[in-house]
Amino acid sequence: MGVVSGIVLYVIIWFLTFFVALPIRVETQGDKGSVVPGTHAGAPENHHLKKKALITTGVALVIWGIIATVILSEWITVRDLDWFHQMGTGN
């Protein structure tokens, strides 16, 4: 895995982790009882984006480290995922 591949893998993992973390602990305007006219009651009142982004960075780094270790050590290769034997023998 090259440097650019590692960065792309980290960015993808970061965004996936961030999208999972977005709905956690969201306080809506309906929960707070102060709905701004013209907005939905489910609109976030307090979303904690900075905190979630920092936590996501750490969690994504751990996940990326595990996946990068598996890829670089070749514990699992593309040929291991060739269940229908479409890739041939390899030599």
Q: What is the residue extent of each domain of the chain?
A: 3-81
Check residue 91 and give its pLDDT. 57
User: What's the token pair of residue 39?
Assistant: 């907005």
- 3-state secondary structure string, 40-61? CCCCEEECCHHHHHHHHHHHHH
Beta pairing partners, 28 = 44
Check residue 35 and give its pLDDT. 85
User: What's the token pair of residue 22?
Assistant: 């977005």
Check residue 90 and give its pLDDT. 61
**Run means of pLDDT, 10 residues per run, the chain, 91 residues:** 94 96 86 83 84 96 96 86 80 57
Length of the chain: 91
Check residue 52 and give its pLDDT. 93
Helix (H) or strand (E) run with residue 32 in it: helix 29-32
In angstroms, the Cα distances linking 59 to 3, 18, 63, 89 are 20, 9, 6, 38
